[in-house]
């Protein structure tokens, strides 16, 4: 069955290349047949859970999308007679989008990665609510991800994810990143910026880009880059100071309990320090630190957080560091000179004795 | 006069004396009663005397054993002359506690200071991850704190501790010794400086450990009890503690690995190290070489005691 359809599709494609006439006519034919019912604006179905599913589709539905040249049965290929008796199955995109397909449909490992992802696994377990390709990319009006209007475009993907992850979307929308994305700043991350596109894993999964020990790396992809951060006047030294701190070092050595960027700054609700709602606002710092260090009070907000002892801005810490630096250099220099002189003397005496 | 006769003489006179006292006391009593008492006293005195003789012979035995041991040691270190006890058992125990704790602390602490060093990850994994290595670090810390307390009590309470502490105080002579030693290295003078019980090198080591322990234990306490510390101190105090802990750790490690190891291990006279940390003894040859002033003092003292024992 699948084979025949495939051959039909290949044949159709070949025909389409050679003789445009008949293929277009065929497509029109299929469309005309489908829109006999689906072309009516009031054509809808009430589902078991009381939701209304709009079934209104016209010839314009695919217009402008990447599948502009496709027709209904290219995807809904299980519809073999019109009107169809059963509800057509959900469209399976891998029908065309597989590696080495003859259709010329774009393909990458991303599609395979989906099956490993938290969403793909949920589908495999039989969770009907988990998203398939069309849930994120759209069903009829699929556009290239680069296109601004695409559902998975940088500016719109948060809304797309938010259709299911409503609370997170609400947090994100007012966060510093959400606001920046809404302003049209290309560098700001939307959901996929941190979580990945197809390889989305649960944050508790060690493969996840937002797993406790990976958070710092993920944030530093942008926050360590002077060329990106420079545009917005944000310092990049935070990454280095974190990695040198005990938190950063322990995290690098695989501690999952130690603080990473998100532990203090928040995950979806990251806000600038000056924002009173920010978890790193001096007023909220005691509470934030108190999550791990019970009894933290206003003292924790006194002094710079990301201290770089090598810079003068660190204040007294800088002077302590400098004191020890010169003490170490001075002492070790004196001791090494003493050792070298001792060895020199020994050699000389040995030679003298001979 | 034989030894036994010597012993008998005072014994007889003592018995006579006792008899005289007893007879004076028992004069008014009836002969039977007096005889009983006399018999009792005689028995008591005999027991007492036998005990004294027994003790004396035990002390002689111990003395003899020590002499044999020393002789055997002398044979062992024939070329080095006799051995002197340089460090007592308490002091050696302190050193062992300290170096075990410092090794633990360095092994578990340095990877945290240099996380990108190639071996750091390996060393941390040896302990089973950062969570375990921090526990080992705290065990090391407790050992170091114990050492510090032990040493302070030793300095205050023990006679050897007090004497050594005074001898370890820096003196103007140390500066002169250092200058002379460097001139000796350069071949400007023929004589090595004559050190006392502790040379300026050893004094430096001692006071470096003092300084290191104070800095490391002080700052480490802040970092260990960070929640408590944050209740009373602002965050920058902890930052200072962190900085001090990290920097002094490096200084201490370098001083141990370069300076101390050179002086006691890699130095051609000592390579690959002596067992002084274990048995605490120094050979006559070495003490004459390294601590001539102490040797002379010891000799003078011995001569003095000998003179007191046999005044001739």
pLDDT, tens digit, for every residue of A289-312?
Answer: 888 888 788 888 877 888 888 888
**Residue-level pLDDT at A321:** 93
Confidence of residue A133 (pLDDT cuts 50, 70, 90): confident
pLDDT greater than 90 at residue B34? no
**Residue-level pLDDT at B243:** 93
Give the Å distances, CA to CA, from B247 to A3, A205, A269, B96, B222: 71, 37, 37, 24, 15
Q: Which residue has the higher pLDDT, B256 or A139?
A: B256
pLDDT greater than 90 at residue A146? no
Q: In the predicted model, what is the mean pLDDT of residues B33-57?
A: 81
Place of tokens 């006559």: B284
Report whether A145 contacts A136 (CB < 8 A): no
pLDDT greater than 70 at residue A8? no
Chain B CB within 8 Å of residue A321 CB: yes
pLDDT greater than 60 at residue A213? yes
Average pLDDT value over all residues in chain B: 87
- Residues 274-313, chain A: which have Cβ within 8 Å of B? 289, 293-297, 299-305, 307, 309
What is the biggest distance separating any 2 CA atoms in chain B, rounded to whole angstroms?
101
**Residue-level pLDDT at B35:** 79
The string over B46-82, giving b where at least 16 C-beta atoms fall within 10 Å of a residue's C-beta and e elsewhere, is eeeeeeeeeeeeeeeeeeeeeeeeeeebeeeeeebee
**Does the ipTM exceed 0.90?**
no
pLDDT greater than 60 at residue A5? no
pLDDT greater than 70 at residue B78? no
- The token duo for A13 is 């494609």
DSSP string, chain B: --HHHHHHHHHHHHHHHHHHHHHHHTTTS-HHHHHHHHHHHHHHHHHHHHHHHHHHHHHHHHHHHHHHHHHHHHHHTGGG-SEEE-S-HHHHHHHHHHHHHHHHHHHHHHHHH-TTSTTHHHHHHHTTSHHHHHHHHHHHHHHHHHHHHHHHHHHHH-HHHHHHHHHHS--HHHHHHHHHHHHHHTTS-SSPP---SS-HHHHHHHHHHHHHHHHHHHHHHHHHTHHHHHHHS-HHHHHHHHHHHHHHHHHHHHIIIIIIHIIIIISTTTTT--SHHHH-EEEHHHHHHH-HHHHHHHHHHHHHHHHHHS--
- The token duo for B13 is 């006179």
Which tens digits make up the pLDDT trace of A253-269? Answer: 988 889 999 999 999 99
Most confident of A48-62, B95-109, B226-240: B95-109
Q: In the predicted model, what is the mean pLDDT of residues B38-66?
A: 82
pLDDT greater than 50 at residue A19? no
Cross-chain CB nearest to A293 (options B187, B230, B244): B230
CATH class of B83-304: mainly alpha
**Residue-level pLDDT at B10:** 67
**Residue-level pLDDT at A350:** 81
**Residue-level pLDDT at A7:** 63
Using an 8 Å CB-CB cutoff, list chain B residues near A338: 182, 259
Interface test with B, best of A320, A323, A333 (most B CBs within 10 A): A320
**Residue-level pLDDT at A26:** 61
Phi, psi torsion values for A44, nearest 5 degrees:
-150, 165
pLDDT greater than 80 at residue A15? no
**Residue-level pLDDT at B208:** 94
In chain A, where are the structural domains located?
A: 1-107, 113-211, 235-308, 312-354
Confidence of residue A333 (pLDDT cuts 50, 70, 90): very high
CB contact under 8 A, B227 and A301: no
pLDDT greater than 60 at residue A17? no
Which tens digits make up the pLDDT trace of A78-95? Answer: 887 777 888 888 888 888
Q: In the predicted model, what is the mean pLDDT of residues B234-241?
A: 90
Q: In the predicted model, what is the mean pLDDT of residues A328-350?
A: 92
Confidence of residue B4 (pLDDT cuts 50, 70, 90): low
- Residues 322-341, chain A: which have Cβ within 8 Å of B? 324-325, 327-328, 331-332, 335-336, 338-339, 341
Confidence of residue A330 (pLDDT cuts 50, 70, 90): very high
Cross-chain CB nearest to A303 (options B182, B187, B239): B239
CB contact under 8 A, B258 and A336: yes
pLDDT greater than 90 at residue A43? no
Confidence of residue B52 (pLDDT cuts 50, 70, 90): confident
**Residue-level pLDDT at B139:** 96
Question: What share of chain A has pLDDT > 70, as a percent?
Answer: 91
Using an 8 Å CB-CB cutoff, list chain B residues near A341: 182, 185-186
Which tens digits make up the pLDDT trace of B96-148? Answer: 999 999 999 999 999 999 999 999 999 999 999 899 999 999 999 999 999 99
């Amino acid at each position: 069955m699948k084979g025949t359809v495939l051959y039909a599709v290949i044949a159709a494609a070949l025909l389409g290349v050679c003789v445009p006439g008949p293929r277009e006519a065929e497509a029109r034919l299929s469309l005309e047949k489908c829109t006999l019912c689906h072309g009516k604006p009031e054509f809808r179905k009430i589902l078991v859970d009381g939701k209304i599913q709009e079934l209104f589709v016209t010839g314009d539905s695919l217009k402008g999308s990447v599948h502009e040249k496709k027709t209904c049965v290219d995807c809904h290929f299980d519809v073999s007679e019109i009107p169809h008796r059963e509800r057509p199955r959900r469209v399976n995109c891998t029908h065309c989008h597989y590696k080495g397909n003859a259709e010329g449909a774009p393909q990458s490992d991303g599609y395979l990665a989906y099956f490993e992802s938290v969403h793909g696994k949920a589908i495999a377990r039989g969770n009907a609510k988990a998203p398939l390709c069309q849930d994120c990319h759209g069903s009829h009006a699929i556009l290239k991800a680069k296109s601004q209007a695409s559902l998975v475009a940088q500016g719109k993907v948060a809304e797309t994810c938010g259709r299911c992850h409503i609370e997170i979307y609400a947090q994100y929308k007012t966060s510093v990143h959400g606001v920046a994305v809404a302003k049209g700043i290309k560098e700001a991350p939307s959901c996929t910026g941190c979580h990945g596109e197809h390889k989305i894993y649960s944050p508790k999964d060690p493969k996840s880009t937002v797993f406790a020990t990976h958070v710092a790396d993920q944030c530093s992809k942008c926050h360590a880059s002077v060329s990106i951060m420079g545009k917005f006047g944000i310092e990049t030294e935070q990454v280095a100071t974190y990695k040198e701190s005990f938190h950063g070092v322990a995290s690098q050595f695989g501690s999952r309990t130690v603080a990473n960027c998100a532990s203090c700054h928040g995950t979806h609700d990251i806000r600038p320090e000056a924002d009173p709602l920010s978890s790193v606002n001096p007023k909220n710092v005691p509470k934030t630190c108190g999550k791990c260090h019970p009894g933290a009070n206003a003292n924790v907000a006194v002094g710079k957080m990301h201290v770089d002892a090598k810079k003068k801005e660190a204040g007294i810490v800088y002077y302590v560091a400098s004191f020890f630096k010169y003490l170490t250099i001075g002492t070790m220099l004196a001791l090494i000179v003493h050792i070298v002189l001792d060895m020199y003397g020994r050699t000389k005496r040995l030679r003298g004795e001979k | 006069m034989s030894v036994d006769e010597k012993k008998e003489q005072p014994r007889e006179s003592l018995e006579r004396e006792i008899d005289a006292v007893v007879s004076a006391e028992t004069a008014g009593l009836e002969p039977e009663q007096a005889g009983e008492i006399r018999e009792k006293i005689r028995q008591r005195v005999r027991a007492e005397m036998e005990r004294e003789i027994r003790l004396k012979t035990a002390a002689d035995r111990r003395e003899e054993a020590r002499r044999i041991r020393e002789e055997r040691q002398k044979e062992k270190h024939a070329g080095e002359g006799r051995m002197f006890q340089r460090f007592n058992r308490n002091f050696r125990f302190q050193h062992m506690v300290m170096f075990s704790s410092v090794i633990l602390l360095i092994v578990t602490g340095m990877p945290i200071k240099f996380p990108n060093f190639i071996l750091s990850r390996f060393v941390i994994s040896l302990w089973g991850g950062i969570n375990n290595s921090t526990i080992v670090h705290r065990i090391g810390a407790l050992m170091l704190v114990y050492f510090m307390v032990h040493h302070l009590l030793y300095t205050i309470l023990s006679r050897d501790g007090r004497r050594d502490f005074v001898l370890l105080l820096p003196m103007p002579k140390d500066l002169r010794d250092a200058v002379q030693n460097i001139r000796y290295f350069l071949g400007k003078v023929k004589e090595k400086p004559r050190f006392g019980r502790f040379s300026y090198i050893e004094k430096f080591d001692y006071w470096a450990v003092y300084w290191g322990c104070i800095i490391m234990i002080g700052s480490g306490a802040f970092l260990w009890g960070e929640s408590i510390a944050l209740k009373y101190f602002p965050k920058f105090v902890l930052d200072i503690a962190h900085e001090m802990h990290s920097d002094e750790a490096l200084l201490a490690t370098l001083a141990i690995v370069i300076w101390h190891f050179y002086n006691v291990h890699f130095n051609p006279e000592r390579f690959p190290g002596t067992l002084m940390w274990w048995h605490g003894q120094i050979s006559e040859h070495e003490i004459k070489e390294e601590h001539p002033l102490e040797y002379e003092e010891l000799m003078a003292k011995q001569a003095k005691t000998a003179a007191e024992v046999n005044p001739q």
